[in-house]
Structure formats: C-alpha cells, structure tokens
C-alpha cells in the first residue's frame, strides 16, 4: 500500500513540476509568441517596401524579405498558414530574381512539408513550370507536370499541366502554328 501512495505522490510531483505553471515553460511560450508576432510585423513592413509600385526587385529590402520568409518558416514550421505562404512568396521572389534552382527547392519543400496547403496544386504546377521554362529541363518538367495531373485530378492547374504535356516537345514555331489554328477555329465558330 505504501508503494502505491509513493508512486502516486511521485506522479503528482512530476506533473506539477512540468505543467504550464512552470515559469520557464511560460517564459519560453511567451517569448516564442512574441518572436512570432515580431517576425510577422517585420515581414509585413518589408512586404510593403518590396511590393510598392516602383520597387526594385533587386533591392536590399528584397533580399532581406527573402531571408525573413525563410527564417520564419524555419522557426515556425507548425504555423500551417503563414509558413507555407511565406515559402511560396520566397519561391516567387527567387524566380523573379533569376534564382530558379532556389525556387525549385522551395516549391519542393512546400509540397513535402505542407501537402494540404491550399495552393498545393499551383505550387506543384509552378515547380514543373520552373523546370520547363527557367531551367529548360524538359524531362524533369514532364515528370513534374505528370505529378500535377496525377495528384490533383480535376483541378485547373492539373488541366493546364495536361495541356503543357501535350505541347512540351513542340518547337516555338509549332506552338505558334497550333495557337493560330486554335484562334482561327474559335473565330470560325463565333461567325
């Protein structure tokens, strides 16, 4: 009987010491929340600067914004709303600054860590598009486009990927010819 009471007392002491009343735990949670809030505020300010109408995408503020997006996602991976969105924006900035390899890594990270992200179909398409247009890696692009079709059937991005798969091996001249034929057919139907 003594052992049972001893065990219960030990359990009560252990849970009391590690509970939310522990000042260290409270301070850690508080500082983490404050850091989160401060980072969001910093990112909001930088976005205002970078995305102003006459902003230069190669400005130091753009580089700092990119760093802050990545830092936030690393520090707060559990923020399933902001972290994937910031990674998405970081990938877009990377592409805009002619850093397609970095964009590919970021798009891949989003799809791996946040498969339920609302923009996942678009991210998957942009991954394929970056391989296709920026890196000129047609085989990787083909695989990535097919993955969009397979993973997101019926989605608008899957339909676009399917269309691109039909034309991926065409030359620019062949694409222009196809486009002209399509326009002529739609013009004939309108008459």
Which stretch of DSSP H or E encloses residue 26?
A: helix 23-50
Whether residue 21 has pLDDT greater than 70:
no
Q: Average pLDDT, whole number, for the chain?
A: 84
Q: What is the pLDDT of residue 5?
A: 43
A 10 A CB-CB count for 162 gives: 14
**Percent of the chain whose pLDDT exceeds 70:** 80
Q: Which residue in the block uniquely carries the two structure tokens 């394929």?
A: 128
| Closest residue by Cα to residue 146 from 160, 161, 167 | 161
The encoded tokens of residue 38 equal: 């401060």
Summarised one tens digit per residue, pLDDT across range 106-142 is 999 999 999 999 999 999 999 999 999 999 999 999 9
Domain ranges of the chain: 20-98, 119-191
Q: Which residue in the block uniquely carries the two structure tokens 């059937």?
A: 153
Q: If pLDDT is split at 50, 70 and 90, which confidence band does 81 have?
A: very high
Q: What is the pLDDT of residue 3?
A: 52
Q: What is the pLDDT of residue 22?
A: 58
pTM reported for the whole predicted model: 0.78
Q: What is the pLDDT of residue 11?
A: 42
Whether residue 72 has pLDDT greater than 80:
yes
DSSP line for 76-118: -TT-TTHHHHHHHHHHHHHHHTT-HHHHHHHHHHHHHH-TT-T
Summarised one tens digit per residue, pLDDT across range 141-189 is 999 999 999 999 999 999 999 999 999 988 888 778 877 887 887 766 6
* Cα 47 to Cα 126: distance, rounded to the nearest angstrom: 21
* Cα 79 to Cα 31: distance, rounded to the nearest angstrom: 16
Q: Which residues contact 68 (CB under 8 A, 6 or more apart)?
A: 39, 42, 43, 46
Write the CA distances from 47 to 7, 87, 121, 183, integer angstroms.
56, 14, 24, 40
Please give the angle made by the CA atoms of 71, 76 and 77, to the nearest 5 degrees. 100
């Amino acid at each position: 009987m003594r052992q049972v009471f001893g065990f219960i007392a030990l359990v009560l002491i252990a849970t009391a010491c590690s509970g939310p009343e522990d000042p260290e735990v409270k301070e850690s949670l508080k500082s983490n929340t404050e850091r989160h809030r401060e980072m969001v505020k910093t990112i909001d300010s930088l976005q205002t600067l970078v995305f102003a109408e006459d902003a230069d995408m190669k400005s130091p503020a753009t580089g700092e914004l990119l760093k802050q997006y990545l830092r936030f996602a690393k520090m707060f991976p559990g923020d399933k709303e902001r972290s994937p969105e910031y990674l998405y924006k970081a990938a877009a900035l990377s592409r805009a600054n002619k850093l397609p390899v970095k964009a590919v890594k970021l798009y891949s990270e989003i799809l791996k860590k946040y498969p339920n992200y609302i923009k996942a179909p678009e991210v998957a398409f942009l991954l394929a598009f970056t391989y296709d247009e920026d890196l000129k890696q047609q085989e990787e692009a083909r695989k990535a486009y097919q993955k969009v079709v397979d993973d997101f059937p019926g989605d608008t991005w899957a339909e676009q990927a399917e269309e691109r798969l039909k034309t991926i091996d065409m030359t620019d001249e062949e694409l222009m010819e196809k486009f002209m034929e399509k326009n002529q057919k739609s013009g004939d139907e309108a008459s």
